[in-house]
Amino acid sequence: MTVGPLRTCIGCRHVQPKGLLLRLVRASDGRVVVDERGRAQGRGAYVCRTAECMQRALRAGRLGHAFKRPSEPPVSGTVVILDGLVLHDKARR
């Protein structure tokens, strides 16, 4: 029985099913944005939905390595991103 596609978190480097991770995408201007639906065009990187992993992942060096180009972290902070996603996930149910 297969779990589906697996991805590696750029924060903690653990491999998990794609659906459990948050996808980040690098826009053409170099800024990184959260791709909530997982369908935005461009190179994606995945991160766990925890504040600890998000803080590690949003460091410029990690983002630059994941996207293979200089990248800027999202303007909103880690907690704001995670709070918005948690609220959004609760609203779906």
Extents of the domains making up the chain: 6-92
How many CB atoms sit inside 10 A of residue 53's CB?
22
Residue with tokens 């060096």: 61
CATH fold, domain 6-92, is Hypothetical Cytosolic Protein; Chain: A; (3.30.1230)
Can you give the pLDDT at residue 82?
62
Query: Does 64 score more than 50 pLDDT?
Result: yes
pLDDT in tens, 18-47: 999 999 998 888 888 888 888 888 889 999
Indicate the SS3 state at residue 46.
strand
Reported pTM: 0.77
Confidence of residue 75 (pLDDT cuts 50, 70, 90): low
Long-range CB pairs of 13-19, under 8 A, 24+ apart, other chains included: 14/48, 16/48, 18/46
Give residue 84's pLDDT.
56
Give the up-direction half-sphere exposure of residue 75: CA atoms within 13 A in the CB hemisphere: 0
